[in-house]
Amino acid sequence: MNEEPNSQNITSDGYLYDLMLSYADIYFQDMAVNTKQIARVIDVEVPLSIELEGWTIKYKKNLKACGECHLKRKFILINPEQANSEVKLTVLHEMIHAFNYMLFDKYKEFFLIYFYNKLIKKIGKKKLHRIINLYLDWDLRVKDHSLLFLLKSLELDLRLKKPLGTVMAYGRCDIFHYYQNKKLEWIPKRNEHSTRSDSKEV
């Protein structure tokens, strides 16, 4: 499946599942590459299959966040009380959690370098370093949103032609915009951020 599912019944769990599978093909093939080849590069003896087999996704009302990713139990919950465009962004956000969780640490190191180099070519080293320094120095990190998560989310922003910080959410679109243009005069507090997701190791 290499295109988005028919959106006639966007309120169904079946639509969410088809959307997740289509996004895996469209946006996450770079994290499901020939892992045997990567294993040789980073000296990992046992190749890892990165796929969403066994994962489920469904709508759940009254979530505190737009979405939740329950890592060990392999299911994603999506808050239905948001526009379809936001649902799609939330699904992508939660899928980064899922793929990140399935990676061994050695693979995470590989993909950190991979996305870092890819982003430098797209937005330049200076701009990328500003964003990374902002992320690390100003305590904008949220639990389970690692540097690898940040880099993959930025790569998705570029592919979707969205402002940097869109997939990451938590108010980072505005922060990144002002910081890149040296006009940042405020730092939003944690409770001022929009809450895209919450990932849980349960």
- pLDDT tens readout for residues 140-190: 556 678 899 999 999 999 999 998 889 987 656 666 666 555 544 444 444
Centroid of chain to Cα 87: 13
Other CB atoms within 10 Å distance of the CB of residue 40: 11
- The residue with tokens 């991979």 is 114
Per-chain mean pLDDT for the chain? 79
Whole-angstrom distance, CA of residue 179 vs CA of residue 190: 17
> What residues contact 192, with CB distance under 8 A and at least 6 apart?
171
Q: 35-42 and 105-123 are packed helices; what angle lies between their axes, rounded to 10 degrees?
A: 100
Q: List the alpha helices (DSSP H) in 71-124.
A: 84-102, 105-123
Q: What does the pLDDT look like over 55-101, one tens digit per residue? A: 999 999 988 889 999 988 999 999 999 889 999 999 999 999 999 88
Residue 57 sits at φ, ψ, to 5 deg, of -145, 135
State the chain's maximal CA–CA distance in angstroms: 49
Q: What does the pLDDT look like over 12-57, one tens digit per residue? A: 899 999 999 999 999 998 887 555 555 555 555 444 556 787 899 9
> What residues contact 74, with CB distance under 8 A and at least 6 apart?
54, 55, 56, 98
Q: Report domain extents, the chain.
A: 7-200
